[in-house]
Amino acid sequence: MARWKALPDDLDPRIAEFTGQLRRLVDQSGLSVAALADRTGYSRTSWERYLNGRLLAPRGAIAALAEVTGTSPVHLTTMWELAERAWSRAEMRQDRTMEQIRITQARAELGDFGGARAEAEAEAAGGTRTVPADTATDAAAEADARRSSASAGPHEGKRRLLLFVAGAAAVIVVIGTVFLLTGRNGGAGAARAANSPSPSATRAADPPPGVRCVGAGCTGKDAEATGCSGDGLVTTARTATVGAATLEVRYSRTCGAAWGRITGAAPGDQVRITAGRAVQRGDVTGAGDTIAYTPMVAVTGADEAEACVTLAAGRTGCTE
C-alpha cells in the first residue's frame, strides 16, 4: 500500500512539485508523520495536510523540516516561495469566486422577491399581466386620434374622438377590475411572499459545513476548533519577520475574523492581534514549541487587523 495519497488533480504544478519534494525528504529521513510532528513542533494533523497538498506549509515548518532532515534550507525555501505565490493566487481566485457567488445569491434574492409579487398579481389577473400593454395601447390610440382629428373634417374628427373616449373608458374599466382582483387576492399572497424568508437567502446566511462561528461570535475563539482555518477558508493577509520568527495576520472572509500566528518562535515569545479595541494574545509556552496562535477577533476586512510579536529576547515588531 502506497504511503502517500495521490495529490489533487487541480493542484498547481509548482505546489505539487514542492509537496513532492517534502514527501521525498520525509521518506529519506525514515520518519513517520507522528515522529516528524514531535521533532518539528507542528502537529501531526498539520503535517498530513502539508504532505497531501491540502494546505501549504508555513516558512517556519519548512525551516524545521530542513533542520530535522539535514537539508539545506536555502533551496527548499526557494521552492517554498514559488509555491507560496501560486497558493496566494489560487486563494485570491477563490475569494473572487466566493464573492461572485454571494453577489449572485443577493441578486437572486432580490429577483425572487420581485418575481413572487409579479406572479401573484399575474395569477390574480388570470395569468396575463395586461395593464402595461393596455397603457401603451391607450397612449398610441390617443396619438392616432389627435393626428386623425387634425387631418379630418370637423364631423369626422368628432366621431373619432367619441370612439377614442369610449375605448379609453373601456380600458379604465378593465384596469379597475384588475386592480380590485389584485388587491383582494394577490395582495395577501404578495405580502406572504415578502414576509416569508427566501430559501436562497437562508442558505446564503448559513456558514459552510464545519464552520461554527461568524463575525462577533468568533471573537476569543480558536480558529482551528471553529473550522475557520479549514482548507480554502483562510489566507495570510500580512506577514513580517522579527528576528528568527515569522509573524502573520491570518484572515477568514467566511468567518469574518482574523488571528495572529507566529512560527519559528521560542518559549516566552508572545503574539497578539489587534482590531480596533479588541486584542487577543497567544504565547509560546512549551519547551519544544515553535508556533503559537492567538484567539480570533471579528473584522469586516483583513486590513482592520494588525499582528505584533514580543520576543523573549526583548525584540518587538508588527506586520506592516
Residue 202 phi, psi (nearest 5): -65, -40
Higher pLDDT, 254 or 244: 254
> What would the mean pLDDT of 78-91 be, rounded to a whole number?
86
Instruction: Return the pLDDT at 152.
Output: 47
Q: If you search the block for the grid coordinates 480570533, which residue do you land on?
A: 296
H/E element holding 195? helix 187-195
- The 10s digit of each residue's pLDDT in 128-175 is 444 444 444 454 555 554 554 444 455 555 666 666 777 777 767 667
Instruction: Return the pLDDT at 213.
Output: 93
Using a cut of 0.75, tell me whether the model's pTM lies above it. no
Q: What is the mean pLDDT of the chain?
A: 77
Given a cut of 90, whether residue 272 has pLDDT beyond it is yes
Task: Give CA–CA dist 95/81, Å, rounded.
Answer: 21
Task: Give CA–CA dist 234/254, Å, rounded.
Answer: 8
CA distances from 31 to 23, 24, 192 (A): 11, 11, 64
Instruction: Return the pLDDT at 201.
Output: 38
Higher pLDDT, 165 or 263: 263
Closest CA to 263 of 54, 14, 58: 58
* Cβ atoms 116, 193 nearer than 8 A: yes
- The 10s digit of each residue's pLDDT in 53-62 is 888 999 899 9
Instruction: Return the pLDDT at 196.
Output: 47
Across 28-32, 98-102, 289-293, the highest mean pLDDT is recorded for 28-32
- Is residue 121 packed enough to be buried (19+ CB in 10 Å), middle (13-18) or exposed (0-12)? buried
* Cβ atoms 304, 275 nearer than 8 A: yes
DSSP-derived secondary structure for 260-275: EEEES--TT-EEEEEE
Question: What b/e sequence results for 48-65 when a residue is b if at least 16 CB atoms lie within 10 Å of its CB, and e otherwise?
Answer: ebbbbbbbbbbbbbbbbb
How does strand 278-283 pair with strand 245-252? Answer: unpaired
Task: Give CA–CA dist 118/112, Å, rounded.
Answer: 10
- Residue 225 pLDDT level (bands cut at 50, 70, 90): confident
> What would the mean pLDDT of 288-293 be, rounded to a whole number?
76
- The 10s digit of each residue's pLDDT in 178-209 is 566 655 544 444 444 445 444 443 334 578 88
Instruction: Return the pLDDT at 136.
Output: 45
H/E element holding 242? strand 235-242
